[in-house]
Amino acid sequence: MTSRIRTLVLSVATAALVVPLTALPSSAAPSAPQQTPPRTPFEKSDGADWTTLAEEQRFLAAVDRGGDRVSVGTIGATKQGRPLNLVELGNKHAVTSLLLICSQHGDEPSGREACLTTVRDLAYPEDPATKRFLDRTSVLVVPTANPDGRAADTRGNSDGVDINRDHIALETAEARAFAALTRDRRPDVIYDLHEYGATPPYYDEDLFDLWPRNLNTSSRVHDEAKTLSEAYVRPAARAGDHTIGTYGIWTDPVTGEPIRQTAGDGQERILRNASGVKHSVGLLIESRVDPRSEAEENDPSLNHRRRVDSQLDSLKGLFGYADKRRVQLSTATALSRAAGLLDRGTVYFGGGDNEPATPEDTVENPPCAYRLDATQYGEFKDELALHGVKALPQRGDGALVPLRQSQRKLIPLLLDERATYHLTVGRPVEAC
């Protein structure tokens, strides 16, 4: 498979857009790596074989040795002891930061392969544009978000838990690691790579994507997520000759009009929604698993390559967006994080950007804090900390969780009895 990232050229609509970047100072320019860039077993087999976990370890070790803009570490381990690898590329201190979470579902491998080759291409940049991009951008990649599930080829982890439904409760080691990473590194974009099964002729695109629908996402972050999708990722996918639509929406095959929603709601426990509530521009991307042709049915490697290629082409849109809109992106996420300090604004326990919340799910004047008793605080203080929520311990009497903090709109989703996925029921405090 040829490299898809090295030129950072994004085809938007019918025109080719070369990502414009400011030149690196000569003193900052790294020397070119001398080693030959490694290739994944998926690439070596021309798509016949997926990269195994052991092969991933060897591949990342080779990338780490050869690239001087990359470091490979871990952010934890699974219940079965497999490492959760984290690859850091570019400038750790850059204003613009991206986080790729690859294959939360273990039986959806194409996003993982796209992430591995992207890591390699960014670690061995061959052109000045990519080097300048990396100088201004921090790129974090979790290549295999569910190693136990990948080893077993299962959707869930070793306990059968769907990690992508655990970004509120944080019951899994994987979700806890991602929450801590998000809290500590505060990525501007969280890009979540998945696969889906088609339902022709209503749900049958090469790719689907979706932004945070949860109404507790700030309007600035929500709008940037839609811009990422509509103005960058979708044009990049189409430029790669892939069809793309909105995840969870069946469409009339003749008119193209939406006729049914089967998924893609505003559940805060799903990563793209949790990302938005936590002030990151979240985007879900799903590639089509099913064969597109008789040739793909007869040769699985063709199907595998098409799935991975579609993920790689959509990633061009992400990188083009991060560079072209880095000011708007950083402004949106920074203002979103600061808004909670003002302690005002409506909180929603339901609805979505395509489904107005009911009056019962709309709280225009939420309490100023929630009080937890000693037992509740003892049981859930770690989860609150992982979410980046500050709690004020009270002498011998649990803790007070004020809403006047950055994660203001997340707190009721964790502690209010009206929230569908609350951790526990705190006592509302109306006057602080």
Flag whether pLDDT at 13 surpasses 60.
no
Q: How much is the pLDDT for 397?
A: 87
Q: How much is the pLDDT for 361?
A: 98
Q: How much is the pLDDT for 126?
A: 87
Of the given ranges (29-43, 188-202, 300-314), which has the lowest mean pLDDT? 29-43
SS3 call for 193: strand
Q: How much is the pLDDT for 327?
A: 98
Q: Which residue has the higher pLDDT, 432 or 23?
A: 432
* Separation between Cα atoms, residue 274 and residue 277, nearest integer Å: 5
Q: How many helices (H) and strands (E) does the chain have?
A: 14, 18
* Structural contact between residues 1 and 43, judged by C-beta atoms closer than 8 angstroms: yes
Nearest to 318 by CA among 288, 353, 282: 282
* Separation between Cα atoms, residue 411 and residue 62, nearest integer Å: 42
Q: Region 179-202: what's the mean pLDDT?
A: 98
| pLDDT-above-90 percentage for the chain | 89
DSSP code at position 269 = T
Q: Region 192-214: what's the mean pLDDT?
A: 98
Confidence band for 32, pLDDT divided at 50, 70 and 90: very low
Q: Which CATH class is domain 9-336?
A: alpha beta
Q: Region 353-366: what's the mean pLDDT?
A: 97
Domain boundaries, the chain: 9-336, 343-429
DSSP code at position 267 = -
Q: How much is the pLDDT for 6?
A: 39
The average confidence (pLDDT) of the chain is 92
Q: How much is the pLDDT for 21?
A: 26
Confidence band for 34, pLDDT divided at 50, 70 and 90: low
236-289 pLDDT, tens digit per residue, is: 999 999 999 999 999 999 999 999 999 999 999 999 999 999 999 999 999 999
* Separation between Cα atoms, residue 420 and residue 168, nearest integer Å: 10
Flag whether pLDDT at 22 surpasses 50.
no
Flag whether pLDDT at 53 surpasses 70.
yes
Flag whether pLDDT at 121 surpasses 60.
yes
124-139 pLDDT, tens digit per residue, is: 998 999 999 999 999 9
Q: Which residue has the higher pLDDT, 397 or 86?
A: 86
Q: CA separation (Å) from 223 to 172, 318, 328?
A: 31, 15, 11
